[in-house]
Structure 1
Amino acid sequence: MKLKKVHGLSIKVLLYLLTFTFTGFQQTYPQANIAGTAWESESKNAKKPNMVFLISEDNSKHHMDLFDPNGVPTPHIRTMAEEGLTFIHAFSNSPVCSVARSTLITGTLATRTAMHLHRKIEIAPMPDGLEMFPAYLRKAGYHTTNNAKKDYNAVEGEGVWDESSSRATWKNRKAVDQPFFHKETFMESHESRLHFDRDLMREYQPADEPDSVWLPPYYPDTPTFRFTVAYHRDKIREIDEWVGNVLKELEKDGLLEDTFVFYFGDHGGVLPGSKGYLYETGLHVPLVVRVPENWQHLVQVPQGTEVKGFVSFVDFAPTVLNLAGIPVPDQMDGMPFLGQGIDVRELESRDEAVGYADRFDEKYEMVRSIRKGKWKYIRSFQPFYPDALHNNYRYKMLAFAEWRDMFYDHGLDESQQRFFQSKPVEMLFDLEKDPYELNNLAPVASHQQDLSKMRGMINQKLLESHDLGFLPESVLVTEAIGNPVLFGNRFHHQLDKLITINTWACMPFQEAFEKLSQILESGNSLEIYWALTVASTFGEEAKPLTAKISPLQSAPDNMVKLRAIEFMGIIEQASPYDRLVDLINTAENPVEVLLALNTLVYFRDHSSYEFVLAPDLINPETTNDEVLRRLAYLKGEW
């Protein structure tokens, strides 16, 4: 935004003349100089920038033309970019709401703090000595408001918000000059808005003709998919209008040029195969920060700049605190990317981002990813589970359900059916050549050095962050949830061994055979649990382990028992149904029941076994909301 002129003189020149005059006055009157210095110092300490988070639900960067040539025009967000910064490499660390938002509000990796499971069965405490970042702003004099979504997997604590409701606004602060932090969420782009019926498809005319929209190559080209994409594009237009309205309100209140405005998506997109998955469409978010005229000195790059350095949600809390001049707590895992002390060259050199996906409602799977520049590495720890493993909420979308029907009817090509098949343990993509992650380079001989490097990087990240995803959730809630960070610190040595065991899945089975055999004979429960899971990734190749694994179907530890049953079913040595039903009926922990139901759904939907569901499948004393969702699906009632 340009400086205005007063009688032909720019504001900058007028300020210089006023400063020169006042300096001369101080030299003539020393007492005034002392008072002026004290006043000036107090003013600098008191004045702080306002900050606003505008968060749209469920949209990746791929849907806006500011970031992608196939995207929708977003003129208000584009104007923000011209008056600020566009971050072309911004990432949610998780592809689903509660985990992503927990990362945002705490500045911590959710896998380190036990906030990584969506939805929470047991809520995690905040790490000792750490508060959600608005609490630090509030202590520094900020008015903090949230309108209105929270969705955290952690105990919020006192003193985070002055107001959190659907009516919360910066307008209710105590004084007109009180700085504020305001967070607002746009809900109309949420996944649920695509849970429409066929009537809407007949009655609603999207702005874009469905026949004209661009479809990613992994979608079948059907009227349902085309309408769904066109309908979602209208939601992107609504996001842009909402952003424009908030900016107008700030300007009307005379606050725009004192306010950093962050616009971003809360994780990747809502279209099938994006939300919930660690592909770029699930993690790569739009991020634009409008830089206010009165605080440009806190940002050392010109307006209109495209920032190529990588930033992710774990960095947002430290950034806000840094802009406010508040020290960043040591317990936060991220790094500021704006404010005092940020070297532009160092920021532009940042080229890494990690991702994590675990339970999504009733669906379990553990996947981790890392981006390093153009390289993307995805590691699946239970790759026999297809991405399409059932989740009730997901398949309410007509396009999702049609996609699955077409798979069963053999109506998909190779790239379109990948979603419904088991996955490689490792995937490596060159995103400059393959932005939609269709060509897995992990098996390619010429890329083995790249693969090894990325594997080593992710293993190091898992160990450094004390990744609690290696605990079955039943163990997490019984042994670690009281103080997850402390547990993780003590878990370090054991975790190192578990990571090593899982790395055996990346080698030929003949090399892994003796190692797995030894763990199956002499390991502790967690080690055996993961050795069984690794054995299952090899499928029929691992049949030589049958003699060691079959007795474990009667192990006293239910999680070991579950993985042994799963292995025997995968290699087709025995129907897993009776043993799974027995485990479900006898387990006293509802989380163990949920994990066993996940395996039951996997075999029912993705194997040749035929099951007749027992009417008394579940002990009513071992249910929770997720268990009930699984049962509804198995009974055809969802």
Structure 2
Amino acid sequence: MRLLYPEGSATQLPRNNPRVRSFYTRVMTVRPFFLLLAALFTCAPFVLHAAETRPMNVLFIAVDDLRPELGCYDAAHMKTPHIDKLAQEGTLFEKAYCQFAVCNPSRASVLGGVRPDTTQVMANNKFLRPMMPDVVTLPQHFKNHGYTALSLGKIFHHSEREPGDDPQSWSEPAWYHGEPYRQWFTKESNDFIANLKKLPPDKRPKLLRAPPFEASPESDDVYPDGMTALKAIETLNRVKDQPFFLGVGFVKPHLPFTCPQKYWDLYPEESIKLPPNYYRTKDAPEPAFHNLYELRSYGGIPPKGDIDDATALKLIRGYRACVSFMDAQVGRVLAELDRQGLRENTLVVFWGDHGYHLGENGLFTKMTNFELGTHVPLIVRAPASAQKAAGQRSSALVELVDLYPTLAELAGLKLPSHLEGTSFAPLLKDPAKPWKKAAFSQYLRPGKEGIMGRSVRTRDWRYTEWKDREGNNMGVELYDENKDPQENTNIATDAANAEKVKEMAAILNAGWKAATPN
């Protein structure tokens, strides 16, 4: 009763009265409830404000060597249920393009927010920070705004041998798979490598590698990508209560195409066919091609000449198996994001660093300016407030260099002045909005000539110019993407297309600034 009648007051009632004791007991029973209610009303504005202003997390999923051959990209033969589900919940970009069709230059462009001519990173042995010491990278920009920025797996192009990672970008040292780092597990593969070691030094290859494919009875978690998925799950548990930019990089389907047998079983041997254009593009200039040198560094692949059909079929099957293996790891990470209740406050972006050939145009791997070399998968799942509808698709031309400004804008961060991409955040609200007139890619052929190929993709056409260091013309390509989407015949030298060549050359030479949306 002290709450109502303080001791010593003239109105204090005797506690030995049964009615008074009963009333006192009831008041003291409900007192904590009223005190809690008062506290909630007092603090509610601050709690609501904190919920409204908590920064949006970013889950940044990068995948190596992934072409847009996925279920959600209308490839019905592919088993990619987790990536397909992400597309059903977000926005799928049908025409997304990399700026350079090999790992390190592409990633330097994405993470630096600038194009290869600015980074001057044109190969895998040069890195972004030495070339641009003062650049504020994409994760660094988030870190500078109070985010915990973390790198798991392959985000920058880094490895044990190369100083490719960028400590300034991250809140903690980058984590790059567990140990030991193994690619092959079967007795046959290990015996193959053991026999190479027995060869005399002058006959032993520089890289001691088994064949570029293997199906093993091992579990997912003995492979680097399985380890990366486990680390991502552990990390989400650790950082769930703070704003985070979490980069999760999967290396498959990069060579070698090695993964558990169960993923190979998804693609029966009899279902694998050679592509219909398993030949060089007609009338394309020599710099458009390469000699499969990445593939030829693996055991059992001839140093020159054609790949036999049996090997080609195994390469196609192994690639598809590794895509499904990677898809399973993506699913594990996304499931943990949901389990932690982070879905509504996390922006998820899934992207491949460049395209890939599996026999098409007479080529394997990347390193081209063809559509298959430059076209990439890109899916963005934003909170409901930032996108028009779940499962939407956009046919607008977008580029990987656009990721930096897009993620910064969606997170409410000011865009740095050095960026050379365009935020496509408006496309999440209106996927059919008129957008870029063109997307730009390039590739530098190594060698004394230093032949650079510059390519421009419009809605209907692809045009490429190859020039040496002195600016001499080394070849021109033109493809009608509606009539010849596989780019089987170069029509640049056909006199009937002279005006189109002139028009596309003008777009290429005007550059990316002239192609940005109004």
TM-score by length of 1: 0.54
Aligned equivalent of 1:380: 466
Separation (CA, whole Å) in 2 of partners of 1:308 and 1:205: 32
The aligned length equals: 381
Partner SS state of residue 421, structure 2: coil
Partner SS state of residue 393, structure 2: strand
Deviation per residue, 1:71-126 (Å, 9 max, x gap): 51311111111111111111111110000110111110021221223322896432
Partner SS state of residue 366, structure 1: strand
CA contact 1:58–1:270 (8 Å) conserved in 2 = no
- Cα deviation for residue 311 of structure 1 reads 1.4
- In structure 2, the gaps of 5 or more residues are 1-37, 178-230, 280-307
Q: Measured at CA, do residues 154 and 107 of structure 1 come closer, stay the same or move farther in structure 2, by a change above 3 Å?
A: farther
Aligned equivalent of 1:369: 455
Q: Measured at CA, do residues 332 and 186 of structure 1 come closer, stay the same or move farther in structure 2, by a change above 3 Å?
A: same
- Cα deviation for residue 334 of structure 1 reads 0.6
Residue of structure 2 aligned with 1:276, choices 367, 376, 382: 367
1:160 and 2:170 equivalent? yes
Separation (CA, whole Å) in 2 of partners of 1:362 and 1:70: 44
Aligned equivalent of 1:213: 272
Residue of structure 2 aligned with 1:118, choices 94, 114, 124: 124
1:135 and 2:136 equivalent? no
Aligned equivalent of 1:233: 320
- Cα deviation for residue 347 of structure 1 reads 4.6
Separation (CA, whole Å) in 1 of partners of 2:247 and 2:462: 31
1:244-263 matches, within 5 Å, as 244-263=331-350
Identity of aligned pairs, percent? 26
CA contact 1:215–1:226 (8 Å) conserved in 2 = yes
Aligned equivalent of 1:59: 66
Separation (CA, whole Å) in 2 of partners of 1:53 and 1:178: 16
Separation (CA, whole Å) in 2 of partners of 1:175 and 1:235: 29
- Cα deviation for residue 163 of structure 1 reads 4.0
Residue of structure 1 aligned with 2:425, choices 324, 334, 338: 338
Separation (CA, whole Å) in 1 of partners of 2:52 and 2:270: 57
- Cα deviation for residue 313 of structure 1 reads 1.1
Aligned equivalent of 1:179: 243
Q: Measured at CA, do residues 72 and 155 of structure 1 come closer, stay the same or move farther in structure 2, by a change above 3 Å?
A: closer
CA contact 1:134–1:161 (8 Å) conserved in 2 = no
Aligned equivalent of 1:289: 380
- Cα deviation for residue 426 of structure 1 reads 1.0
- In structure 1, the gaps of 5 or more residues are 1-28, 384-422, 466-638
Q: Measured at CA, do residues 285 and 205 of structure 1 come closer, stay the same or move farther in structure 2, by a change above 3 Å?
A: closer
- Cα deviation for residue 433 of structure 1 reads 1.6
Partner SS state of residue 348, structure 2: strand
Separation (CA, whole Å) in 2 of partners of 1:177 and 1:144: 14
Letter in 2 for 1:141: G
Letter in 2 for 1:215: L
- Cα deviation for residue 451 of structure 1 reads 1.0
CA contact 2:91–2:380 (8 Å) conserved in 1 = yes
Separation (CA, whole Å) in 1 of partners of 2:311 and 2:44: 69
RMSD between aligned residues:
3.5
CA contact 2:112–2:128 (8 Å) conserved in 1 = no
Partner SS state of residue 235, structure 1: helix
Separation (CA, whole Å) in 1 of partners of 2:500 and 2:77: 31
Partner SS state of residue 309, structure 1: strand
Separation (CA, whole Å) in 2 of partners of 1:303 and 1:114: 38
Q: Measured at CA, do residues 357 and 65 of structure 1 come closer, stay the same or move farther in structure 2, by a change above 3 Å?
A: same
Separation (CA, whole Å) in 2 of partners of 1:217 and 1:117: 31
| Larger RCO (CA within 8 A; separation ≥ 6) | 2
Q: Measured at CA, do residues 179 and 463 of structure 1 come closer, stay the same or move farther in structure 2, by a change above 3 Å?
A: closer
1:302 and 2:366 equivalent? no
- Cα deviation for residue 363 of structure 1 reads 10
1:551-570 matches, within 5 Å, as none
Aligned equivalent of 1:405: none
CA contact 1:276–1:360 (8 Å) conserved in 2 = no
- Cα deviation for residue 296 of structure 1 reads 1.3
Separation (CA, whole Å) in 2 of partners of 1:38 and 1:121: 45
- Cα deviation for residue 134 of structure 1 reads 0.9
1:440 and 2:490 equivalent? yes
Partner SS state of residue 422, structure 2: coil
- Report which of the two has the higher share of strand: 2
CA contact 2:151–2:246 (8 Å) conserved in 1 = yes
Q: Measured at CA, do residues 372 and 464 of structure 1 come closer, stay the same or move farther in structure 2, by a change above 3 Å?
A: closer
- Report which of the two has the higher share of helix: 1
Letter in 2 for 1:79: K
CA contact 2:112–2:136 (8 Å) conserved in 1 = yes
Separation (CA, whole Å) in 1 of partners of 2:374 and 2:117: 16
- Cα deviation for residue 376 of structure 1 reads 0.4
Deviation per residue, 1:594-636 (Å, 9 max, x gap): xxxxxxxxxxxxxxxxxxxxxxxxxxxxxxxxxxxxxxxxxxx
Deviation per residue, 1:454-474 (Å, 9 max, x gap): 111111228989xxxxxxxxx
CA contact 2:405–2:419 (8 Å) conserved in 1 = yes
Separation (CA, whole Å) in 1 of partners of 2:514 and 2:130: 20
- Cα deviation for residue 148 of structure 1 reads 2.3
Residue of structure 1 aligned with 2:408, choices 317, 321, 335: 321
Residue of structure 1 aligned with 2:352, choices 265, 268, 272: 265
CA contact 1:132–1:160 (8 Å) conserved in 2 = no
Separation (CA, whole Å) in 2 of partners of 1:359 and 1:434: 25
Separation (CA, whole Å) in 1 of partners of 2:319 and 2:419: 35
- Cα deviation for residue 70 of structure 1 reads 6.3
1:509-520 matches, within 5 Å, as none
1:381-530 matches, within 5 Å, as 381-382=467-468, 425-461=475-511
CA contact 2:90–2:379 (8 Å) conserved in 1 = yes
